[in-house]
Amino acid sequence: MERIGQVIRPLLGGITTGLVVGVLVLDVMLPLELAAGVLYVALVIFSLRSPKRAFTLAVAAACSALIVLDFILHSPPEGNVPMALVNRGLALLAIWATAILALQHRQAQEATKTLQELWPMCPGCKKIRDDKGGWQQLEQYIKTQSDLEFSRALCPECRTRSLPKALA
C-alpha cells in the first residue's frame, strides 16, 4: 500500500502542476474583466485528492498568488478596473471558501470515521473501553469523542413498564 502512495503522490503533484499552468495560461489570455480566476477553484477541489491538508492549503495559496500576480502584470483598461477588482476578489473568495469548507468536511468525515469504528463494550454495564484501556459510560465516551450532548427520555417500552409502577 505504501508503494502505491509513493507512485500516486508525485503523479498527483504533476497533474496539479499541469492544471495550474493550464489555468494560468487561460487566465492570462482572457481579459481581466472575465471571471476566469474562478477556474482555480477546480484546482483546489482536485488538490483534495491528496491526504495531506497542507497540500490543499498550498494549492489555494499558489492560486491566490497567481490571481494577484496576473492582476498586477496585466492591468485592465482604465474603465474596467473596478470590474476586474471585483472579479479577482470573487475568485479569491471562491478559492478560500472552497478550501476551508472542503477541509472542514474532511475533518468531519475523519471524526465520523472514528465514531464508526468498533468499540469494545461490556455487555453487562454497557461501558466502552477507550484507547488508553480505561472504561467509560457510553454517554461519556461519545461526549469526549464528539460534540454530542444527551438528553433523557423514556422509550415507549420503558414508559409502559415504569409508569404503572410509579402510579402504584
pLDDT tens-digit series, residues 109-131: 887 776 666 778 888 888 888 87
Output the CA–CA distances (angstroms, integers) from residue 59 to 46, 47, 123, in the order listed: 9, 7, 49
Reported as half-sphere exposure (CB side, CA atoms, 13 A), residue 84 has a value of: 20
pTM exceeds 0.75 for this model: no
Q: For residues 110, 114, 117 and 119, what is the CA-based torsion angle, rounded to 10 degrees?
A: 180
For the chain, which residues score pLDDT lower than 50? none
Rounded to an integer, what is the distance from CA 110 to the centroid of its chain?
A: 10
Question: Cell triple for residue 63?
Answer: 492560486
Per cent of the chain over pLDDT 90 is: 8
Taking a C-beta distance cutoff of 8 angstroms, is the pair 68, 88 a contact? yes
